[in-house]
Amino acid sequence: MAVSAIPEGLTISLTVILSLGMQRILKKKALVRRLVAAEALGSVTVIATDKTGTLTEGIMRVTETQIKNLDDALDVACYANNLDDPIEFALWDWVSKNNVDPEARNKHILRQKEVPFDSINKYMSVTIDHTTYLKGAPEVVLKFAKITGSEKKKILDQVAEWSKKGLRIIAFAKKSPKHTKYTWIGLIAIEDPVRKGLVKVFEDCFRAGIRVVMITGDYIGTAEAVWRQVTNGHDREIIAVTGEELDKIVTEKLKWLDLLPAKDNLPSDISGGMKKRVGIARALTSNPEILLYDEPTSGLDPVLSNVFNELILRLQKELKVTSIVVTHDMESAFKIANRISFIYEGVVLFCGSPEEIKSTNNEIVQQFINGRTKGPMILDHSEEELKKQKH
């Protein structure tokens, strides 16, 4: 017979506590739809946040320009514009401030072709009367444009200078039918102010031991400048990683673990052994000195178990990673271990090399490693046997 040891009022108390948490969150202008969400917030260790419109106000305006031809720049700002986001609204407003009606300018045009902006290509282009107008990230537009090495250096220096101020930078170019390369038009810098009060929010997160990560498609210098503002210099060293660098790291780790062919597979499409190797790949991205394994060969057939054993040995030999393995698989332990600690009922009974543990006189250790059913080990933890052991 089992007797409940849970107090009657515990459920009610927890409900009241979580409800009070929801009310406190609501006062911060955040609505909690599910009660357990208040509890989940208390266990958060990492926050991944967008930049534009989250850390910044999302109210943008053009503050700096470096352009060769104003009319060409106004054309790009008008034509390569769908008014889909705050940047395009800022460009539309900039055209208006230059005494041009963007709506009237767009009224009678016919787009022959459009390549919409996306986070991978990082540019948008439209073709009107066989002339293509291009806007996008400076490093991308520069690849399309016909430009000298010295001009490119000046442009990149300007981009670096503006990005240190936290400005978002858009590049313009155009291509006429008689040219194969784009003509460089110039740069537009857009200000997106950081939201007030974020410094305290970040300080609270850091005090609570919460790691905050900012994810953005912006130029890396702009991202670093915004991060310095919101963290108030809390992080002495900013670790900024581009999408290309992340992809390189992922590819490198998957290749090392022979998982590259499965790179684009969904979790549901990979086997149990693959999932275990994916777990190691994720751990290796931070270049650890120590890896902890919990029953790594559990659920694997003998062949895959040996594959995993060899993988652990490779990590030790090639990457100099120390492995701590918790396992009941003694065959695996003897293959991969330099030293083995045998723990029984919370006590370390033996610690030594595989050869030493095989030759020990400890009866419990010998019973376990040889898989004998007869011996001093308690195989059935019944209440009566536990009492005998204590006495």
- Catalytic residue positions, numbered: 50
Residues 6+ apart with CB under 8 A from 19: 35
Query: 């902006």: which residue's tokens?
Result: 117
The two structure tokens encoding residue 185: 């038009």
Q: What residues pair up with 61 in beta bridges, in sequence order?
A: 191
H helices of 197-343, in order, are 198-207, 220-231, 243-256, 272-284, 302-318, 330-336
φ, ψ at 328 (rounded to 5°): -105, 0
Nearest to 241 by CA among 263, 222, 260, 215: 215
Q: What residues pair up with 215 in beta bridges, in sequence order?
A: 50
Cα of first residue to Cα of last residue in the chain, in angstroms, is: 25
Please say whether the beta carbons of 214 and 205 come within 8 A. Answer: no
Nearest to 365 by CA among 337, 331, 342: 342
Nearest to 242 by CA among 141, 139, 166: 139
Please say whether the beta carbons of 142 and 196 come within 8 A. Answer: no
The two structure tokens encoding residue 54: 């989250």
Residues 6+ apart with CB under 8 A from 161: none
Residues 312 and 206: their CA atoms lie apart, in Å, by 35
The β-bridge relationship of strands 290-294 and 322-326 is parallel
Query: 């902890």: which residue's tokens?
Result: 292
Radius of gyration of the chain (CA): 31
